[in-house]
Amino acid sequence: MAREPDTLQWRIDAMTILHRVTAAERRLSASIRVNKITMLAAADELQAATMDATTWLTANPCPEGRLRAQVAWVLTSCGEAALTARRAASDPLAYTEEAIVRVRGLLAAIDYHSGGLDVGHG
């Protein structure tokens, strides 16, 4: 089924901001293997990118309901991953294997669900 031109244009416009989110998500994923300070910085970056994307999406709603829901899920999950990573990195009692497993699980789900957001997919 062909996409409506407005949906395709929205995807093209959204890619810049969504690429910033997915790049920050990849950095958070890599930071887990480094140290708490690096993980905290990456979590802050992901949160900032997620907030910027959410603001942009509020001003530029996606015309396609299914895609809108997918983007909202990815952004909500990114926010949750950033918050969980921040807590794990800043609270000595929270930095447990369970917290790290939770962050990794969220990041894996985000990777999976954000793959279809590329302009060439759909």
DSSP per position, 50-81: HHHHHHHHHHS--SSHHHHHHHHHHHHHHHHH
Do the Cβ atoms of 28 and 46 come closer than 8 Å? yes
Q: Is 0.85 surpassed by the pTM of this model? A: no
For the stretch 81-107, pLDDT in tens is 999 899 888 877 766 777 777 888 888
Which backbone phi and psi does 93 adopt, to 5 degrees?
-80, -20
| pLDDT > 90? residue 116 | no
Domain ranges of the chain: 65-122
Give the integer Cα–Cα distance in Å for 93 and 114.
Answer: 31
**In terms of pLDDT, which residue wins out, 92 or 2?**
92
Q: Give the residue from 100, 74, 96 showing the smallest Cα distance to 85.
A: 100
Count CA atoms closer than 13 A to 43's CA, side-chain side. 22
Copy the structure tokens of residue 89. 């990195």
Asked whether the beta carbons of 119 and 17 are under 8 A apart, the reply is: no
pLDDT digits (tens, 9 = 90+) for 27-85: 999 998 888 899 999 999 999 999 999 999 999 998 988 888 888 988 999 999 999 89
